[in-house]
Structure 1
Amino acid sequence: MLTAVRGIYENEQVILDEPLPTQHAKVIVTIIEEKAILKKRPLGTMKGTIWMSDDFNEPLDDLKEYM
């Protein structure tokens, strides 16, 4: 079973945000650099960049023989 616990690495120590659910376990540490964390974009920043053709739901000429 895998369990994820967040924490930070500081002064050559891993400081966990919460205690581990067991006293004995193998551990894998994954380093996530601060610059790798994506920041949330404000809502509406993509507005107007995606559009749909007016005839989107019309049958395609290429498929007439199958209809």
Structure 2
Amino acid sequence: MNIPSANTLTNGTAYFLTFVSLAVAGLSTFDWLTFFTPEQSLKIVAGLNLLGLLVKSWMLTAEQMAKNMAAK
């Protein structure tokens, strides 16, 4: 069984969150306020952006830790 690497999974997660964030932001041209209030929509987009930033920072930290381990 071919198990994807953590980097592949993390990149996939970051791209997925970015896509979802863009899709939700793109819905601003659609009247989606029938589904969510403006406050809820702002929280959704902010939450997706925050998750994306957290994943990216985790990737950078993991890469730096791997470089430090390889250097020893």
Structure 1 length as normaliser, TM-score? 0.22
Q: Which has the higher contact order (CA 8 A, sep 6+)?
A: 2
More strand by share: 1
Highest CA radius of gyration, 1 or 2? 1
